[in-house]
Amino acid sequence: MILARLENHFRQYKRGSLTDLAEILDTQPEALRGMLDLLIRKGRLRRLPSGTACGGGCSKCKPETIELFEWVNENGS
């Protein structure tokens, strides 16, 4: 169930941080790591390099502390 919600979130928003996803899905970040890793292994998601800006523009977080993930389209982009 959470895995499907996770995929739907990425299909809609394309990117997400571990912290935000945990809040949205009302779960602990550590509980999401396995699901995120599964989506990465399946080629549906990629982890963005440390320091990548989230794009939110709020500047409340240090980019190097944010774990960002990005949806990979079916065509690989």
DSSP letters of 4-64? HHHHHHHHHHSEEEHHHHHHHTTS-HHHHHHHHHHHHHTTSEEEPPTT---S-----S-GG
- Quick one: pLDDT band at residue 35, thresholds 50, 70, 90? very high
Q: What is the mean pLDDT of the chain?
A: 83
Q: How many domains does the chain have?
A: 1
Does residue 77 lie in a domain region? no
**DSSP state, residue 65:** G
The pTM for the full model equals 0.79
23 or 74: which leads in pLDDT: 23
Residue 6 domain boundaries: 2-71
Looking at residue 36, its pLDDT comes to 96
- Residue 23, pLDDT above cutoff 80: yes
| Dmax (CA) of the chain | 34
In a domain, 76, yes or no: no
What pLDDT shows up at residue 39?
A: 95
Residues 45, 21: Cα–Cα separation, whole Å: 14
The reply to whether 49 falls in a domain is yes
In a domain, 40, yes or no: yes
Section 18-37 average pLDDT: 92
Tell me if 21 is assigned to some domain: yes
- Looking at residue 51, which CATH number applies to its domain? 1.10.10.10
Residue 52 lies in a domain: yes
